[in-house]
Structure 1
Amino acid sequence: MRVFSGALVFVALSFCRVPRAWAQINVERLRDDLRLSPALASLEGSFTGRTGNVESLVVGAGAMGAARWRRNSFFASTQADYARFGSETRVSKSFIHLRYDYDLLPWLAAEAFVQQQQDKFQRLNLRELIGTGPRFLIADERDVRVAYGMAYMLEYERIAVPAGAPDDPVVVAHRWSNYLTATWQMDSRVRLVGTTYLQPRFDAFGDFRVLFESALTTEIAKRLAVKVLVTVRYDSRPPTDVKPTDAEIKNSIVVTF
């Protein structure tokens, strides 16, 4: 079997079928870097192919950026992934996320965000959302930082409904988005960031989503780092034939500008 691969990001393990696309992309790991520089950007990309006993193609690309001016902070993130095994497409998804923060006090900020995404495997033809709310800085020490945020979030979804399924093809929901995030600077080169989201619907608290994301980043050069990202998602009411739990581990190389 021949293997050809060129990658900045290599997906090491991905398992479980995926629930509905997540309502908010985590940009927490950009915040600490923004404290050291007024602007930054990073690029990620991957290409892995196999032929012979196993025919597969995995392609991914992404970019993240942030900037800070006085009390204003701006964040942007975009990602696209495509995976095909034999004649079956397993993953085909993309998103773009924009976020703005305004510091009201040293411990309090106002946030606003918008996002658009699609995911073929999750039966999500389109998702658009907008939200706003406060962010509270609970702890801000040299090596540890903890913050809590909440937001009102309006989301619009168009779902690919299989024949005979009871799902609504169009869903509009009002959600209460909550997150708790912690950053631990283990030493000058190693940093651990963990974030948990909880997002129930205002009109049906039994319809909720949970996301846990943990990223361990190790700097190997001034603008080069290795990152291990663990993500676990749960959707209490996923579309028909989609499992409620999704877990993923990614190993990546990040180039920062």
Structure 2
Amino acid sequence: MSCRLLPAAVIGIALVLIAAPRPAAAQIVNVQGVLAGDPEPGWSGQVTVTADWRTGNTDLALIGGSVTTLYRHDRWLGLGIVRGEYAEATGARLSEKTFEHLRGRVELDRRWMWEAFGQHEYDAFRRLSVRALAGTGPAVRLVRGERARLIAGLAYMLEYEALDDRMGVADAGETSIEHRLSSYLTGSYKVDAKIAVTQTVYVQPRIDDPADLRLLSETALTSKLSSWLAVTTSLIVARDASPPDGIEPLDSALKVQLGVTF
């Protein structure tokens, strides 16, 4: 794929997924967007904070944030991500979730890499008391130009889930252990020195039941305000073919984040 074709591919994937019906919830969280480019040697990362406090006609309290840390040395790359969010309006919870991810990557040659990862997640509104997973597999650089990057990966993933025990649902308190394939395609394109577009697509079928499929697309536009400050606008569309009882299969979100890089 040439560098000229990559922006068109990014826009095309985004438009197809925008046309999908309206939201609810799936269970993939994108971590590959951070790795779409080539991180600088040594330590780097980003801190984002979200806060909203309102009183009067609307009583709302929202706080959230994330810390992303990267370390690159020679052929080795390490990634750590921690995220959290809590929101409450007029005494009712609107959001309550945490997320932690660790990933290691080693370059086998100029194109091929091997990855291993582990993850933990809690999300009250997707009925996840615990989601824990671990996986490993190869990745390959398809494009490595000055302005464009494209990477594909495929991994075996072992996943454990425990659902909440809320009243009125058929699967209250259920636990499961599943074997999945996790494949992704992630690319980035630098429009200029300050603006970059990143697109990531995940496909995660269950190995013993491929119809139990999870999909995610995230399109992000990042604008650098300075050497240490950036604004990222992200469109996320995800689908879970077999969600927990009471949870819709489709989820979408439009997010704007201000991040401090280091």
TM-score of the alignment, normalized to the shorter chain, above 0.5: yes
1:235 to 211, 215, 240: 240
Count of residue correspondences: 241
Say if 2:191 is the partner of 1:199: no
5+ long unaligned stretches in structure 1 = 1-15
SS of 2:95 mapped into structure 1 = strand
Q: Provide the rounded CA distance (Å) in 2 between the counterparts of 1:62 and 1:164.
A: 34
Query: C-alpha offsets along residues 88-143 of structure 1, whole Å, 9 cap, x if unaligned?
Result: 11110001000000100110000000000100111100111000000011111111
SS of 1:207 mapped into structure 2 = strand
Say if 2:127 is the partner of 1:135: no
Shift of 1:18: 3.8
Q: Provide the rounded CA distance (Å) in 1 between the counterparts of 2:48 and 2:105.
A: 24
Shift of 1:179: 0.4
1:163 to 143, 162, 167: 167
1:51 to 55, 62, 71: 55
Say if 2:260 is the partner of 1:255: yes
Query: C-alpha offsets along residues 163-213 of structure 1, whole Å, 9 cap, x if unaligned?
Result: 353326101110000101111011111111100000000011111100101
Shift of 1:222: 1.0
Letter in 2 for 1:43: V
Answer yes or no: is the 8 Å Cα contact 1:20–1:123 preserved in 2: no
Q: Which has the higher strand share?
A: 1
SS of 1:231 mapped into structure 2 = strand
**1:97 alignment partner in structure 2:** 101
Identity %: 31
Q: Provide the rounded CA distance (Å) in 2 between the counterparts of 1:52 and 1:248.
A: 27
Say if 2:200 is the partner of 1:180: no
CA RMSD of aligned residues (A): 1.7
Say if 2:102 is the partner of 1:84: no
**1:245 alignment partner in structure 2:** 250
Shift of 1:144: 1.0
Q: Provide the rounded CA distance (Å) in 2 between the counterparts of 1:78 and 1:60.
A: 11
Shift of 1:162: 3.5
Answer yes or no: is the 8 Å Cα contact 2:48–2:259 preserved in 1: yes
Letter in 1 for 2:54: R
Say if 2:104 is the partner of 1:116: no
**1:5 alignment partner in structure 2:** none
SS of 2:122 mapped into structure 1 = strand
SS of 1:237 mapped into structure 2 = coil
Shift of 1:33: 5.4
5+ long unaligned stretches in structure 2 = 1-21
Q: Provide the rounded CA distance (Å) in 1 between the counterparts of 2:218 and 2:26.
A: 16
SS of 2:108 mapped into structure 1 = strand
2:25 to 19, 24, 31: 19
Q: Provide the rounded CA distance (Å) in 2 between the counterparts of 1:161 and 1:73.
A: 39
Shift of 1:31: 4.8
Letter in 1 for 2:208: D
Q: Provide the rounded CA distance (Å) in 1 between the counterparts of 2:33 and 2:65.
A: 19
SS of 1:105 mapped into structure 2 = coil
